[in-house]
Amino acid sequence: MPLPRRFYNRDTLTVAERLLGKLLVYHSPEGELRGKIVETEAYVGEEDPACHAARGPTPRNAIMYGPPGHAYVYFTYGMYYMLNVITEKEGFPAAVLIRALEPVKGIPILQRNRGVTDFLKLTSGPGKLCQAFRIDSSLNGIDLCGSRLFVEEGGEKRPKVVWTPRIGISAGLDKLWRCYIAGNRFVSKTNTVQLK
DNA sequence: TATTGGATCGCC
DNA sequence: GCGATCCAATAG
């Protein structure tokens, strides 16, 4: 069951944290794929210099200004796609980047799409998980309250969460807007702060 | 129309 | 540490 739209229609940092431990589900042409979300980042409004909407609306970031609960997929570095979920009320550009997953279902498909078999390398990064799930710009704008691509409850209690600066950006490094499940092996980079 | 650099990854 | 690879955004 997809999470309801109200899950996304609130403060972006809250959504970023509450997505941890939940399941990303994609009914792909190759079969059903599932992964537990273990790492996310928040991008919040035109005042956030690292947000794609920092300089106002453009054709690329248009979906960020739309209603919450939709996917924002964009292409970068000439070869990778990034998957975000749109948050907050329509008209306010904000999103959560899905940075890493723990593979749950469709492992052979994920391995084939990635060209590697090592579990730890399948979906442990934002570019990797899109490659593994074959998520590309054809899914940009898709409604996450639909049945093709969505997030659902993971059935676990709230995980212990660590907050750090976001990865791969040059502005907004003062904000601790990246979060991940403490100790999870599928987080994209070696954890600098590890809770016991 | 030209130029620049990126919410990355994997190999050197 | 660096190259791959291409497109959006900005400048001219």
pLDDT in tens, A161-193: 999 999 999 999 999 999 999 999 999 975 444
Place of tokens 């209690």: A157
The strand pair at A161-164 and A80-86 is best described as unpaired
Please name which of A75, A133, A68 lies closest in space to residue A95, comparing C-alpha atoms: A68
CB atoms within 10 A of CB A113: 19
Percentage of chain A lying above the pLDDT 90 cut? 95
| Mean of pLDDT values over A84-113 | 98
Is strand C within 7 Å of residue A78 (CB)?
yes
Is strand B within 7 Å of residue A114 (CB)?
yes
Question: How much is the pLDDT for A191?
Answer: 44
Each residue of A135-147: pLDDT tens digit?
A: 999 999 999 999 9
Looking at strand C, which nucleotides approach a protein CB closer than 7 A?
4-10
| Mean of pLDDT values over A51-66 | 97
Provide the CA A1 to C1' B7 distance, Å, integer.
28
